Amino acid sequence: MDISLSGRTAFVSGSTQGIGKAIARGLAAAGARVVVNGRDQQRVDAVRDELAAQVADSDIVGVAADVATADGVERLLAELPAVDILVNNLGIFGPKPVLDVTDEEWLHCFEVNVLSGIRLARAYLPGMTERGWGRVQFLASDSAVVIPAEMVHYGVTKTALLGVSRGYAKAVAGTGVTVNTVVAGPTKTEGVEKFVGELVGEDLEWTEAESRFMREHRPNSLLQRLIRPEEIANMVVYLSSEQASATTGGALRVDGGYVDAILP
């Protein structure tokens, strides 16, 4: 399948590391003009330059803005008033017993993981529908359906994204714009490596730590390893393409078979 995103502008929130960075790289490789995003200007510039060096003839720019806040979204919109592809990747997570999670922590988790995407979709969807083409994606997680006991607050925010995505898809029905959720499984990122160390012991060699984590904490995985960020990015690139024109309102799994269900 020859996917070309030439002539499209894509914005990926929280794309200076991990899955977001891999998505930005994948979209750029497919020909899109890609806007890298993070809170720190130096970090954004560094990742922009890194990706530009990795993807020949790419068009990659960076916008530093904290899109987990209303002010940050306004700052972004001032620099980037329209996009063709919106990937709501920004998210935070961390283990904590659910009875110890404070109101402030619940609210912060929702602000970052849910409201950031809601605000961005609300801002960019009208322009997409007016032009008759657009792609919006929310990055959810297997934790949306298999709530992890060690971080219920994170799982609940990802569950919310499934409803948000479906609702926005209905709002733009018949316009040529698609809205979907990508349900990512346990993925090897910088944050997850730290998370794995906290759960199974930071003194273990990585291969052993990964194996123990999957065996003890993610035993449902059919892949029996952590997913690599580029494997998530492949799905995002496809959903951003012309070829995915009939896929909307869905929750598409790239979870290594972790969720024990036949239907998506």
- Contacts of residue 219, Cβ cutoff 8 Å, sequence gap at least 6: none
Q: At what angle do helices 116-131 and 70-79 cross, to 10 degrees?
A: 30
pLDDT confidence of 263, banded at 50, 70, 90? Answer: confident
**Residue 179 domain-assigned (yes or no):** yes
- Round to whole Å and give the CA distance between 48 and 37: 9
* CB 14, CB 89: distance < 8 Å: yes
| Overall number of domains in the chain | 1
Q: Order of strands across the sheet with 9-12?
A: 59-64, 33-38, 9-12, 85-88, 134-141, 177-184, 251-254
Tokens 């899955």 locate to: 19
- Round to whole Å and give the CA distance between 234 and 31: 14
In the chain, % of residues over pLDDT 90: 90
**Residue 211 domain-assigned (yes or no):** no
**Residue 140 domain-assigned (yes or no):** yes
pLDDT confidence of 218, banded at 50, 70, 90? Answer: confident
Q: Which residues make beta-bridge pairs with 140?
A: 183
- Reply yes or no on whether 258 is catalytic: no
Q: What is the pLDDT of residue 198?
A: 87
Tokens found for residue 83: 């996009």
Q: What is the pLDDT of residue 124?
A: 98
**Residue 85 domain-assigned (yes or no):** yes
Give the containing element (helix H, strand E) for 60: strand 59-64
**Residue 198 domain-assigned (yes or no):** no
Nearest to residue 185, comparing CAs of 152, 156, 145? 145
With 0-12 / 13-18 / 19 or more C-beta atoms within 10 angstroms meaning exposed / middle / buried, residue 206 is exposed
Q: Are strands 33-38 and 9-12 parallel, antiparallel or unpaired?
A: parallel
pLDDT confidence of 190, banded at 50, 70, 90? Answer: confident
Greatest Cα pair distance in the chain? 54
**Residue 220 domain-assigned (yes or no):** no
Q: 60 is in which domain, residue-wise?
A: 9-183+229-247
Which is the catalytic residue, given 124, 154, 168, 258?
154
pLDDT confidence of 250, banded at 50, 70, 90? Answer: very high
- Contacts of residue 159, Cβ cutoff 8 Å, sequence gap at least 6: 144, 145, 147
Q: Is the pLDDT of residue 264 over 80?
A: no
* DSSP, res 227: B
* Per-residue model confidence as pLDDT tens digits over 88-127: 999 999 989 999 999 999 999 999 999 999 999 999 999 9
Find the radius of gyration of the CA atoms of the chain. Answer: 18
Q: What is the pLDDT of residue 224?
A: 92
* Per-residue model confidence as pLDDT tens digits over 31-81: 999 999 999 999 999 999 999 999 999 999 999 999 999 999 999 999 999
* CB 92, CB 113: distance < 8 Å: yes
CATH number for 170: 3.40.50.720
**Residue 262 domain-assigned (yes or no):** no
pLDDT confidence of 203, banded at 50, 70, 90? Answer: confident
**Residue 209 domain-assigned (yes or no):** no
Tokens found for residue 179: 């809205």
Q: What is the mean pLDDT of the chain?
A: 96
